[in-house]
Amino acid sequence: MFTRTSPSSGATSPEVTGFYDKDTGSIMYVAVDPATKKAALIDVVLDFDPQAARTRTDSAQEVLDFVRAEGLEVEWVLDTHPHADHLMASAWLKEQTGAPNAIGEKVREIAGLWRDIYNLPDAFDPAADFDRLFADGDTFKLGELEVRVMLSPGHTLGSITYVMGDAAFVHDTFMHVDSGTTRADFPGGSSAELYASLMAILDLPGDTRLFVGHDYPPVGERTEPAWEATVAEHKAHNKHLGGGVSEAAYRKIRDERDATLGLPDRMLHALQVNLRGGRLAPAESDGHHYFKIPANKF
pLDDT digits (tens, 9 = 90+) for 258-291: 999 999 999 999 999 999 999 999 999 999 999 9
Is residue 192 within 8 A of residue 248, CB to CB? The reply is: no
Distance CA 151, CA 154 (A): 10
Question: For the chain, which ranges sit under pLDDT 70?
Answer: none
pLDDT of residue 237: 96
Q: Say which residues have a Cβ less than 8 Å from residue 15's Cβ, sequence separation at least 6.
A: 5, 6, 7, 8, 31, 32, 34
**Residue ranges per structural domain of the chain:** 2-261
Homologous superfamily assigned to 2-261:
Ribonuclease Z/Hydroxyacylglutathione hydrolase-like (3.60.15.10)
Residues 67-82: tens digit of each pLDDT: 999 999 999 999 999 9
pLDDT value for 47: 98
pLDDT confidence of residue 268: 97
- Is the distance from CB of 134 to CB of 102 less than 8 angstroms? yes
- Residue 242: its pLDDT value, please? 94
Tell me which residue of 190, 185, 76 sits closest to 141, measured CA to CA: 76
- How far, in Å, CA of 289 to CA of 223, rounded? 39
* Mean pLDDT taken over the chain: 97
The per-residue pLDDT for 6 is: 98
**Of 238, 228, 234, 235, nearest in space to 14 by CA:** 228
pLDDT of residue 199: 98
CA nearest to 264, candidates 83, 38, 17? 83
pLDDT confidence of residue 266:
95
28 contacts 59 by C-beta, under 8 angstroms: yes
Task: Give residue 86's pLDDT.
Answer: 97
Confidence (pLDDT) at 269? 97
Q: Residue 58 has what pLDDT?
A: 98
